[in-house]
Structure 1
Amino acid sequence: MASDPQRTAVIDDRGATLTRQDLADASSALADEMHEQGLRVGDVMIICLPNWTEWMVTYVAALRCGLVPGTLPVTTDPESIAYVANMVGAKAVALPRAHRGRDFAAEADIISRSVGRRIRFLFCEQDESPTWALADGAPETAPAYPAGLAHILFSSSTTGKSKAIAHSESSMDAYNNWIIDRYGITGEEAIFMPSPLGHSTGFWHGARMSLLTGASLVLQDHWDVHTALSLVEAHPCSITVAATPFLKDLTDAEWTGDTPKLAGLKTFVCGGAPIPPSLIERATTELPDTHIASIWAMSEGGATSSLPGDSAELIAETCGRVMPGVELETISESGVVNPRGVEGEIVMRTPSLFLGYLNQEDLYRESFTREGYFRTGDLGVVDHDGYLRLTGRLKDLIIRGGVNISPVDIENALIQHPLIAKVAVVGRPDDRLGERICAVIEPRPGSDLTFVDLVDWLRAESVPRRLWPESIHLVDAMPQTPAGKIRKNDLRKSLFPTS
């Protein structure tokens, strides 16, 4: 900040802008308020705010005060906020006063009743000073925290109740420094972040990376592809990290500008799901100045990403190369480490690995092999050069007549259909075979897609018959996590409630 205090630190899609000096002043004042509210070093504060400049002010203030931030996407419902607040012993929760039709001030009453003890609320809104409210009750009782606790991330709840994922400064630094070094991010650049800052993608690659490098942070709160194009053009951004649907929308969007689409964006790092090869091919044409990269990471830690010089073929077929210092292997069903090139569950030992699941010690112990590898639940192959190819999820596998079928290749084939916007392949329960292949499809607006049409197209395109779905189900919109990952568990529950 001392070198250029008037440089933009953060800007959002409402037009709110903070310089480095503004961010320092506002966060210092808010840190004083936090102390006046009785918050002390080591206390946990849940931050559940939109991608606004206020998110960064609150986060930096919490760090100044020595608090442990626990970050949630603003789409989190009040019952889930209360659940995680109790699980981690949070003493305060930061919320917007209102956002997209939700009255968070009223929802704070729901949260406080569910928490059932004393808890403070910080309410933020644009152009207004933050305000505090105290929900009185029984005194707070904090659980025992692991040594070195610095931040808490929460799982996206695709498989039930949230997990509270504890990180240290060193685990977060390890991950961030890999990304910074691999893509050459400096304080002279800007980071575009449409992913929620309350999710690990937005937090690690947006909030934290901008503070570590000094890069300006350009935030988008509500996803709209045309707004995104305008933001990147108006505030030249060199890198973004977001899920595959964001890349697909940007690739498909019409562009009439004088310069190539996303001309200033040097790198789009894509995570959350494998990138279909057809999308890589289209993105290379539609976004000629942007290098598309793949990354494989999770809230518990990170492991691989594409190298800047990787070929389009490598990017389409792999999730990149293992990061320095990471031990990445696959294991057999019996837990034995496989030779390179053999498919199995992906496991890792890495400096970026989390400290543990708070108040879920049994789950934490079950997540490791005897040799200390973290079990990711992903299936894949690590080749002799350290490149990772995902083949599916342990729980996503379709078992048809005793044969394990990965949805990945089927989804990559179907997404090439011109009338399909999004697709998720799941197993439909079947009395005879156990499961059959079902494609859940979100069609493009105004399109009329039938199963017969789809089969005719698959045949005409010479798609192997083993990749043909045996039924389809059309939906208006896919259930997704805040980072854009399709919630397959939600699809299964809604489609097959008795299975």
Structure 2
Amino acid sequence: MRGDLEFMSIPRLVRTAAARYGDREAVVEGRTRIGYEQLAARIERAAAGCLAAGVEAGDRVAVWAPNTLDWIVSALGAVTAGAVLVPVNTRLRGAEAVQVLARTRAKLLFVTGTFLGTSYVAALRRAAGGTHTAGGPSGIGGTGAASGSHRPDVPLPGLPHLREVVVLAEDAPSGFRTWKEFLAAGDAMPAWSVRARANAVSPEAPSDIIFTSGTTGEPRGVVVTHAQSLRTFGAWSDLAGLRRGDRYLIVNPFSHTFGYKAGVLACLMRGAVMVPQAVFAVDAVLAHVAAERITVLPGPPTLHQALLDHPARTAGGLSSLRLVVTGAADVDPRLVERLRDEAGIPMVLTAYGMSEATGVVTMCRRDDRAEVIAGTSGRAIPDTEVKVVGDDGKALPPGRAGEVLVRGYQVMAGYFEDPRATAEAVDVDGWLHTGDIGVLDGEGNLRITDRIKDMFVAGGFNVYPAEVERTLARHPGIAEVAVVGVPDKRLGEAGKAFVVRRRGGPAASAEELIAWARHEMAAYKVPREVEFVAVLPRNASGKVVKGGLRPSGEGQADEGRMRRQ
């Protein structure tokens, strides 16, 4: 199955996994345990429901729900019916979700009922129930009904292209259907029609549109094909060593490239057991790891740091884990060391990617030296080129910092219906301009230092906030920190650190932290100000919104690129 992944589609992958792994456990959710053949049957039934609902090949179908078995079945059912999947982040507000649905002109929506005390159905109806335009206050012109207009043949008048809303619950309000009703309607579709639609899906057809989490302006929808998804995460699975029978706790949201593709698709490729977790909660992660003997746990550094520091973690509480893959804007080398030495996890890998490159660009190898894994994001995955360029666009030698450019099969097909933005991101030679600053070493290992737009100049020296944050995070009194450049009369710009105190750590003052920093880094890098905050502002993807910390309030365009995910 590995050699021909680039010629496959996701519907074929589902059928291949069912044939290959049969009744081996596929998904565990509470007391529900289903095998690969059962999973494939459920997915085909959901695909039949999509056909019965009038979904045509190429139509957009959205899923606004947390990590659950129903998400997997509904999403893969839509893709099997030839639709283009639009995952919607559960952290979005109703108006933000409506914006995504309007821009993609989604024809069908699967939505959770009540989640974390919020009725997503009520949020939708408030945002698109006839008193809002499809674009709402964000101004998505030309995609929706006029304000106050009503269409009797659509469930949400503010979304005239949306023909059907299916609630993934036992109950649904008038005009919507329950999950059970939706599936029952599809039972009248002949099996051959579902299979014919699935067989017609081309490897080069778009498989999904995943929106970046822009902090200013509108997020952009990244279009990726079936072949790109399968080839990229076939390579990821090989390099990570994911194998049949692994028990994989999927904490990364399915609405992100990594949660869906490095989670669901990778498990389908390798016959691993999926254990979806709907909420990021450290207590629940520890419980799952122990109860299900979890062996694979990818996730952001904050998850692994919280696990290591959790008071309920016992000495052998993570002993079943054999593989951790982590990443973010930067990874503290001490975290990698603690995962290996303190928690006894034999394989800890770091990687770098972004939605525009199907989630993966570089990755460490399992036989890399400890300092390579702890200090870099590894080398380009097979058939991928990575270079670092200066302001003149010319490649820089090893050790010099510049913008990271990527070229390969995984570079996105483009931003959805936005050729201008696509041309700005991908040049005529096929190089994706990531907007990340990085350094390559002599062996091709990449270290990401920051975002271009986060860098500031202090007294003529370039300062990379991520580097400063990494150093400050070593202080025992700091749990989280974000550094931004602010105006300074003497230096032009200087750093300001926003600090979340570590619970139980030493309560250092701002002056003490600055004094400590002077011993740890060059003077021009030392923040001139420290402000203590309860939490750092984050967007719907959980990333720190530095624009909310600057005095001017100016944000960074497109913070949604997935870095070291």
TM-score normalised by structure 2 residue count: 0.80
Contact 2:26 2:39 in 1 (8 A): yes
* Larger CA deviation: 351-360 vs 74-83: 74-83
Residue matched to 1:358: 416
Residue matched to 1:136: none
In structure 2, relative to structure 1, the CA distance for the partners of 1:458 and 1:498 (3 Å cut) is closer
In structure 2, relative to structure 1, the CA distance for the partners of 1:103 and 1:367 (3 Å cut) is same
Match of 1:207 among 242, 264, 281: 264
- Spell out, residue by residue over 1:102-127, the C-alpha distance to the aligned partner (whole angstroms, 9 max, x if none): 11111222235443314121210379
Contact 1:188 1:214 in 2 (8 A): yes
Indicate whether 1:224 and 2:281 are aligned: yes
In structure 1, distance between residues paired with 2:305 and 2:404:
27
In structure 1, distance between residues paired with 2:297 and 2:428:
37
Which gives a bigger RCO, structure 1 or 2 (Cα 8 Å, sep 6+)?
A: 2
Residue matched to 2:5: none
Amino acid at match of 1:294: T
Calculate the aligned-residue CA RMSD, in Å: 2.4
Residue matched to 2:128: 111
Contact 2:538 2:545 in 1 (8 A): yes
Residue matched to 2:99: 83
SS at match of 2:237: helix
In structure 1, distance between residues paired with 2:313 and 2:221:
45
Contact 1:440 1:473 in 2 (8 A): yes
Match of 2:53 among 10, 34, 37: 37
Residue matched to 2:195: none
In structure 2, distance between residues paired with 1:455 and 1:383:
31
- Spell out, residue by residue over 1:336-355, the C-alpha distance to the aligned partner (whole angstroms, 9 max, x if none): 22234432100010111110
In structure 2, distance between residues paired with 1:111 and 1:130:
24
Residue matched to 1:124: 168
Contact 1:243 1:483 in 2 (8 A): no
Q: How many residues in Structure 1 have an aligned counterpart in Structure 2?
A: 481
Amino acid at match of 1:477: V
Residue matched to 1:7: 24
Q: How does 1:469-480 map to 2 (within 5 A)?
A: 469-480=527-538
Residue matched to 1:143: none
In structure 2, relative to structure 1, the CA distance for the partners of 1:4 and 1:126 (3 Å cut) is farther
User: How far did 1:464 drift?
Assistant: 4.3
Indicate whether 1:253 and 2:307 are aligned: no
Match of 1:25 among 19, 29, 41: 41
Q: Which has the higher strand share?
A: 1
Match of 1:318 among 369, 372, 376: 376
* Structure 1 unpaired stretches of 5+: 133-145
TM-score normalised by structure 1 residue count: 0.90
User: How far did 1:393 drift?
Assistant: 1.0
Residue matched to 1:279: 335
Contact 1:382 1:389 in 2 (8 A): yes
User: How far did 1:476 drift?
Assistant: 1.4
SS at match of 1:436: strand
Contact 1:158 1:490 in 2 (8 A): no
In structure 2, relative to structure 1, the CA distance for the partners of 1:286 and 1:467 (3 Å cut) is farther
- Spell out, residue by residue over 1:415-456, the C-alpha distance to the aligned partner (whole angstroms, 9 max, x if none): 111121111111123355332101111112366442023134
In structure 2, distance between residues paired with 1:185 and 1:130:
34
In structure 2, distance between residues paired with 1:92 and 1:58:
11
Amino acid at match of 2:509: T
* Structure 2 unpaired stretches of 5+: 1-17, 135-157, 172-177, 183-202, 556-565
Q: How does 1:93-492 map to 2 (within 5 A)?
A: 93-109=109-125, 110-111=127-128, 113=130, 114-115=133-134, 116=158, 117-119=160-162, 120-125=164-169, 129-130=179-180, 148-254=205-311, 257=314, 260-301=316-357, 302-445=360-503, 448-458=507-517, 462-481=520-539, 484-492=542-550
Contact 1:272 1:485 in 2 (8 A): no
- Spell out, residue by residue over 1:259-287, the C-alpha distance to the aligned partner (whole angstroms, 9 max, x if none): 63421221211122211123233333322
Residue matched to 2:558: none
